[in-house]
Structure 1
């Protein structure tokens, strides 16, 4: 028993985590990433990963979560791996943030930090400003996708 970790002792007794993986948009091969991430996570963790994917390669992919503030209902975590840099509608952004504001954690991969920006985001955004909400959620302000 000494060689068995506590995680191994309890993992079989617990229901798997439910994760919602959101992918789509410009700049990366999300069609491949979504399958690699799902397979990799499910092979290593007690987790079931569902997808919301848009094959659109623009910076404003039409993601199925838009307009549905309850899109994460029933999930334990949301993994944001979308590039929605041109999505500037405050109502849509509020809907994307709604589950996180209600306590559902999020994991934000790469392009997620460059998404959901509006206003003069290339200048420092003040905490509490209307266009600071995504930055406050992810914990940093991104002004662009690198050099």
Structure 2
């Protein structure tokens, strides 16, 4: 069984919510070891192609545990403008997500997920990716570099995308 942490790819879906320059999450101070879904796919392939994984639970994480403040700074760097993280209540986060066009089902799921993150339950970093793939897990910085074409950039991004 694979048990991945939150996916870095989810931040691509939050880009519209970053237009005002704020990542508003109810778990801003919580550290999470987000993982790139590509690493999860490669781990799955390795597990399926090799013996010795029967009954095993592989917790798949990224290479580092970052707070959402740190993530906001890196997202801002990739977008070419300042992005800060603001802790809010679950209700405020839900309203902000809905206001940026995130569907209701997704906003509810994200708020529930961030409630779990706020407890610190997703902060551990495992060695699953390097142990099974022979290389480090992809970092947030690598992920953002790999997906630059999907990220609007520049200080006027907020105005251009409205």
TM bucket, shorter chain: under 0.3
Structure number with higher relative contact order (C-alpha < 8 Å, ≥ 6 residues apart) = 2
Q: Of Structure 1 and Structure 2, which has the larger fraction of its residues in strand? A: 1
